[in-house]
Structure 1
Amino acid sequence: MDHNNTTSTLMRKTLMALTGLFLCFFLVIHLLGNLQLLLPTDQARESFNSYSQLLSGNIFIKIISYVLYASIIIHSLDALIITLKNKKTSGKYVYDQRGASSKWYSRSMGILGTIILIFLVFHFKDFWYQYKFGSLPVDGAGHKDLYTIVVGVYGDLWYVLFYVVCMFALGFHLLHGFFSAARSLGVYHPKYVAWIRVFGAWYSYVITIGFAVIPVYIYLTQHVLWN
């Protein structure tokens, strides 16, 4: 690999790290908003719909959303390009050049990322597209009743199972991706490595469990216990 290709790969890994960390930050905000779905039904509907209305009507949030869309696209394309280059170089996908000594999820970032990307297509279709372009009912406060849509979607057991599986794929992706991003950005001093690993692990666990619990809770409380 010549100097130009090496520089290009490093730049792509740096850009992928930056977009990845932004997506990590977004996941925290998104989870905090979605945790309102765990409130009692009437309170959850009012709170979640108000939250959704705030996000759709705030110019600052709209700018952040465009950055989010760009980050997802750039992160995915960079990952694809790096994967194809690694395959061309080594004959197989190698994410971090550590071979069999690395964790299985470190060597499966492409597969995990693909699962997450498929999930995002369904997620955007069922919620974002419906909110932006669908004919949603209106709640008592005059807000689009996205809560009712969410409860309806999570009434399908197969969708709930699909969601949970995808959240675990996300968790394993984050488990390696967080540390890899820190390393790509040069935060690899022995003094901080252990702390970064622990923080990244706990972050991954919280994000995975937090998101996975929501559809399961809604399915059990809104559909199973009611029937």
Structure 2
Amino acid sequence: MEKKSSWSTLMRKTLMALSGLFLCFFLVIHLLGNLQLLMPEEQAKESFNNYSQLLSGNIFIKVISYVLYTSIVVHCLDALVITLSNRKTAGKYAFDQRGASSKWYSRNMGILGTLILVFLVFHFKDFWYQYKFGSLPKDEYGHKDLYTIVIAAYQDWWYVLFYVLSMFALGYHLLHGFFSAARTLGVYHPKYVSWIRTFGKGYSYVITIGFAIIPIYIYLTQHM
């Protein structure tokens, strides 16, 4: 029974690692698209709305989006199951001091993950849901004007603050998750550990700063 339980835990961790790595890939694509918001206003509006139209009208992108939604759900559910399982077994190892030497964000992945999940709910409601089901105005090319909706959302300082804090939570989540995924998938080899750590940290910093700077830039430029 214990062997079966260990195998089940390993499978859940592997599934969470794979879904997490897919989400990491998606974040790069999503960031590249959102960086268009930093262009001059007219150019940013045309480029960003064209980008949004491409994502909504391409059948290949639609398939990828369903994989994305599934990955988010699987990742969250696996994280919840593994966290509950770890809590149940925590009391069995009274002399396990690994938690004392681990990073604070590694010990608080549940809190960070919950903040990210709350952010995703707001993010999907304000942008994805509005684009798919809302009555958005059209730009001069006949595309749904998501650019105007995004710019309007980043006029509120509290929303910008919430977004930035969520991105830092995401950054710490990525720092821990990237290394955990590498260990789970067996690629965290001593020969390559320094490269993996450097890449993981660099990736986490770029994603965090890249996403965080967008609402800050929009808020500051719109209020000058």
Q: Structure 2-normalised TM-score?
A: 0.96
Runs of 4+ with >6 A deviation? none
Task: Evaluate the alpha carbon distance shift between residue 185 and residue 97 of structure 1 in structure 2; reply closer, same or farther with a 3 A threshold.
Answer: farther
Measure how far apart 1:213 and its partner are: 0.3
Shift of the alpha carbon at 1:3?
Answer: 0.3
- Distance in 2 between the 1:131 and 1:91 partners? 48
Question: Which residue of 2 is the match for residue 19 of structure 1?
Answer: 19
- 1:50 is matched with 50
Deviation at 1:97, TM superposition (A): 8.0
What is the aligned partner in structure 2 of residue 60 from structure 1? 60
RMSD (CA atoms):
1.4
Ranges in structure 2 where 5+ consecutive residues have no aligned partner: none
Cα distance, 1:189 vs. partner?
1.2
C-alpha deviations, 1:41-61, integer Å up to 9, x for none? 000000000000000000000
Count of residues in correspondence between the two structures: 221
1:111, CA displacement in angstroms?
0.9
**Aligned counterparts, 1:1-227, within 5 A:** 2-91=2-91, 98-222=98-222, 224-225=223-224
**Counterpart Cα distance in 1 of 2:217 and 2:150:** 12
Identical aligned residues as a percent: 80
* C-alpha distance after superposition, 1:73-113 (max 9, x if no partner): 00000000000001111149xxx982111111111111111
**Structure with bigger RCO (C-alpha 8 Å, 6+ apart):** 2
Work out the CA distance in 2 between the residues paired with 1:38 and 1:147: 11
- d(CA) in 2 for partners of 1:83 and 1:147? 38
What is the rounded CA distance, in whole Å, between the counterparts of 1:12 and 1:144 in structure 2?
40
Using structure 1 for the length normalisation, give the TM-score. 0.95
